């Protein structure tokens, strides 16, 4: 079984090389060497000339280009939606102070509107930097903020008088909300430019 697979892979590699640019270029140069041999220009060393020309052609041929993998942005958002669902389940089990809880609710609603399947999510998927920023917030920033709050709250009970941990949590959530609003504004700007571009195109077409 293993021998059969190994043989199949070897045959595939051999066929791939026969069709490669290196082999085609080397063969073309080798044909030139055969022509020199037939005319007698290569002398008695014509086999070495043919092999040398083939090797030279194979060396100067451009390398084969391996196409990079294609990633479907919609699939990335699908995975992110699943992670967002797990985040919401986790947060539903956590007790937060009212102010922080209200800010977190606003933040999650904004994330949810961006991730809801539809044309908004399509605009988001077309912007890798925005997808990265939202992924970082959902998978790292929000859970880290809530978890560190819970840990600090326990320590604060042992050592009262320090800065209340809910203050830090509120500040962190405010920063994340501002970041999400900037992200949303950036996507809105993309759509605005798209509309303006279409207006310009129609006006120029009308003048022509």
- DSSP letters spanning 47-63: HHHHHHHHHHHHHHSPP
Give the list of residues 6+ apart from residue 181 with CB closer than 8 angstroms, or none.
110
Q: What is the pLDDT of residues 97-124, one digit of tens each?
A: 999 999 999 999 999 999 998 888 889 9
CA–CA distance, 58 with 51 (Å, rounded to integer): 11
> Is pLDDT of 136 > 90?
yes
Neighbours of 56 (CB within 10 A): 15
**Using an 8 Å Cβ cutoff, are 183 and 111 in contact?**
no
Share of the chain above pLDDT 90, in %: 44
CB-neighbour burial class of residue 31 (10 A; exposed 0-12, middle 13-18, buried 19+)? middle
- DSSP letters spanning 24-41: HHHHHHHHHHHHHHHHTT
User: With bands split at pLDDT 50, 70 and 90, how would you rate the model's confidence at 2?
Assistant: very low
Q: What is the pLDDT of residues 8-50, one digit of tens each?
A: 555 556 555 545 666 666 666 666 666 656 666 656 666 666 6
CA–CA distance, 81 with 41 (Å, rounded to integer): 71
Sequence length of the chain is 208
Average pLDDT over residues 183-192: 92
Whether the model pTM is above 0.85 = no
CA–CA distance, 158 with 77 (Å, rounded to integer): 42
Compute, in degrees rounded to 10, the torsion defined by CA atoms 141, 185, 126, 122.
Answer: 100
């Amino acid at each position: 079984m293993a021998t059969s697979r190994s043989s199949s892979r070897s045959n595939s590699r051999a066929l791939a090389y026969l069709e490669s640019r290196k082999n085609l270029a080397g063969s073309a140069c080798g044909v030139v060497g055969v022509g020199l041999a037939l005319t007698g220009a290569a002398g008695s060393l014509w086999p070495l000339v043919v092999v040398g020309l083939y090797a030279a052609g194979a060396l100067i041929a451009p390398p084969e280009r391996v196409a990079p993998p294609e990633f479907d942005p919609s699939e990335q958002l699908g995975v992110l939606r699943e992670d967002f669902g797990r985040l919401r389940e986790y947060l539903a089990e956590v007790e937060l102070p009212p102010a922080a809880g209200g800010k977190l609710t606003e933040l999650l609603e904004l994330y949810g509107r961006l991730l809801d399947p539809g044309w908004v999510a399509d605009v988001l998927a077309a912007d890798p930097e925005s997808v990265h920023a939202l992924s970082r917030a959902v998978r790292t920033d929000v859970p880290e903020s809530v978890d560190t709050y819970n840990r600090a709250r326990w320590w604060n009970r042992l050592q009262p008088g320090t800065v209340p941990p809910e203050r830090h949590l509120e500040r962190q959530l405010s920063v994340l909300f501002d970041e999400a609003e900037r992200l949303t504004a950036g996507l809105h700007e993309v759509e605005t430019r798209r509309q303006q571009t279409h207006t310009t195109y129609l006006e120029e077409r009308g003048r022509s």
